[in-house]
Chains A and B, each alone.
Chain A
Amino acid sequence: DTAVSQTPKYLVTQMGNDKSIKCEQNLGHDTMYWYKQDSKKFLKIMFSYNNKELIINETVPNRFSPKSPDKAHLNLHINSLELGDSAVYFCASSQVSGGARNEQFFGPGTRLTVL
């Protein structure tokens, strides 16, 4: 199936741990994103990569580090997890960046719970 996939779907961990979330898209898109959706369902951009280059880095703690080994993958590594990091993290991709229409396709989400 052509899609955006994420692993794991659920992640439960202790405060202070380091964890990674993986994202892959097989849509041939050039741009990939990470979003955070909090408990109030507010969806906010964290990072955007275009052809493996970082183009957006919103105000996100530097404990969060995205890595793009190739344009089909964008992984998110989180160091020293805190309670406030508990949220659903969505990966997304789109065909183009810049000024053109930018329909984004979302992965299924990773529900992170920090205890």
Chain B
Amino acid sequence: GQNIDQPTEMTATEGAIVQINCTYQTSGFNGLFWYQQHAGEAPTFLSYNVLDGLEEKGRFSSFLSRSKGYSYLLLKELQMKDSASYLCALWSGYSTLTFGKGTMLLVSP
């Protein structure tokens, strides 16, 4: 099976940088996704890592270390609209996407 751990909640200030961590235990996976979900809305794709290292996409970056079973999502220049839940998910092939329980990020002025 797979186990994915993320902090339940985080708070940060507008303009700051925040790092949301995701640790996992699995027998194997193809890649790791990060999704953003605003309250009452659908999850939307943020990033995908298949190789170790950093993937940068504007204000958002995601990092993966397979040897450490660890990923993080880095959000820079935080905006109020970044207040949302951030979901880490493992892609194991055969259409299996296993989500963590998500980290609720609250950005304050």
Contacts and interface: CB of A to CB of B under 8 A. Distances in A.
Contact of A97 (B48, B94, B104): B94
Interface in B40-96: 41-45, 48, 50, 85, 87, 91, 93-96
Contacts of A41: 37, 85, 101-102, 104
Contacts of B104: 41
Contacts of A103: 33, 45, 48
Given A104-B45, A109-B42, A56 B99 contact: no
A55 interface: yes
B95 A55 contact: yes
Contacts of A55: 94-95
Q: How large is the interface on B (under 10, 10 to 19, 20 to 34, 35 or more residues)?
A: 20 to 34
A76 to B, nearest CB: 16
Given A101-B31, A104-B45, A106-B43, A45 B98 contact: yes
Nearest to B42: A106
Nearest to B98: A45
A98 B43 CA distance: 22
A108 B101 contact: no
Contact of A50 (B33, B95, B99): B95
B30 interface: yes
A45 B41 contact: no
Contacts of A97: 94-95
A99 B42 contact: no
Given A99-B30, A101-B31, A107 B95 contact: no
B41 A104 contact: no
The 6 A-B residue pairs with the shortest CB-CB distance, nearest first, are A106-B42, A48-B95, A97-B95, A99-B93, A43-B99, A42-B101
Given A33-B97, A40-B101, A44-B99, 16 more contacts: A41-B104, A43-B102, A45-B96, A94-B95, A97-B94, A99-B30, A99-B93, A101-B30, A101-B48, A101-B50, A102-B97, A103-B33, A105-B45, A106-B43, A107-B42, A108-B42
